[in-house]
Amino acid sequence: MGICRSKVSLEGKVVLITGGNKGMGLETSIALLRRGAKVIIGCRSTQNVENEIRNIIPDADVHVKKLDLSSTKSVREFADKIKSSFEVIDILINNAGMLTDKKKETEDGFELTIATNYICHALLNHLLLDLVKRAGQLSSDCSRIILVSDLAAADKRIASDFCNPRSDNKSYNINFGVQSMDNQYPKSKLAQIMYGKHLATLLEDENCNTIVASCHPGFVRTDAVQGFDPGVKRNMFIYTGYVVGKTALQGAQTTIHLALSKFDELSLKKENGKLFSDCRPQEKCLFWSLMPKYIEDPVACKTVWEETMQMLNI
């Protein structure tokens, strides 16, 4: 199990994390606050979060703001508030996520899982990208966008649901699953990893001092399955989590590692766009080899990006 032992100080750094109010997001927030960062948490349930964190770290520089990642309107309002209060974001962490077995459409016409885990995060990154780029320009340390993903994206069943193999001009079925709601969560994470790869390429082409990295926390005991109806599937996740799952703090280690790591010019180029787990790149591991082959194809990643931007009217 990867453990981040870095003692790097984050004094003067601004971190924005989605879903930093509980589970792995909370552990990540606490770890970065302890290292002196100013941490902005975007979450739905804002009540008492600042007080609870200050009970643990009395002088925590923490700011909790309302954000519902199932709504593009909420994301735009949140981004406007951030832009009016902060000039840079050194570390932007796309952490919030959920699973559900119920098919639900958001007010924007997206399936709820895809909207929350992927599409609205892509909008948030887009709206805040200038602040992240500026942080990289003003510091010798690269700024970073960290995407908390999942190797569940390697689920073979979703490969054909996601990509339309019949079309010469391949298109991706990003929004609703054609086969099953079970495909929506892994699909959201597959889209997120491919989006991250293309975003890394774009930033590299612009010579930005910014890295994009995805990470897989492992199987972690959190409330992640609370969107499932009570029953066998939900219980199976919960009980298996107690037997073999990591704690939220253990699961947060790779995110913390990516937030604290030093990247020089060479390592930034080498690691940009990669997926990490257990505090190291994972693109040679068994699970990675189970991913659909098109995840390595820059054209496929660009197509996923472009279709996402079209869906967001950007």
* Residues acting as catalytic residues: 185
Of positions 14, 15, 70, 228, contacts ligand NAP by CB under 6 A? 70
| Integer Cα distance of 161 and 178 in angstroms | 6
Q: How far is the CB of 171 from ligand NAP (least distance, A)?
A: 25
Can residue 219 be called a binding residue for ligand NAP (CB under 6 A)?
yes
Strand order in the sheet with 210-216: 61-66, 38-43, 14-18, 91-94, 143-148, 210-216, 275-277, 280-281
Segment interacting with ligand NAP, rule: CB under 6 A, options 58-66, 218-226, 265-273, 305-313: 218-226
CA dihedral sign, ordered 32, 87, 64, 146:
negative
- Report d(CA 39, CA 32) in Å as an integer: 7
Residues of this chain, 28-47, that bind ligand NAP according to CB under 6 A? 43-45
Nearer to ligand NAP, 96 or 163 (CB): 96
Q: Which of 148, 159, 203, 213 binds ligand NAP (CB under 6 A)?
A: 148
Q: Which stretch binds ligand NAP (CB under 6 A): 23-31, 77-85, 156-164, 286-294?
A: 23-31
Q: Which has the closest alpha carbon to 210: 284, 277, 146?
A: 146
Binding-site residue total for ligand NAP (CB under 6 A)? Answer: 28
Burial of 5 (0-12, 13-18, 19+ CB in 10 A): exposed
**If DSSP codes are grouped into helix, strand and coil, which group holds residue 20?**
coil
Q: Which helix (H) or strand (E) holds 211?
A: strand 210-216
- Between 23 and 136, whose beta carbon lies closer to ligand NAP? 23
Q: Where does this chain bind ligand NAP (CB under 6 A)?
A: 18-19, 21-25, 43-45, 67-70, 95-98, 116, 148, 150, 217, 219-220, 222-224, 248
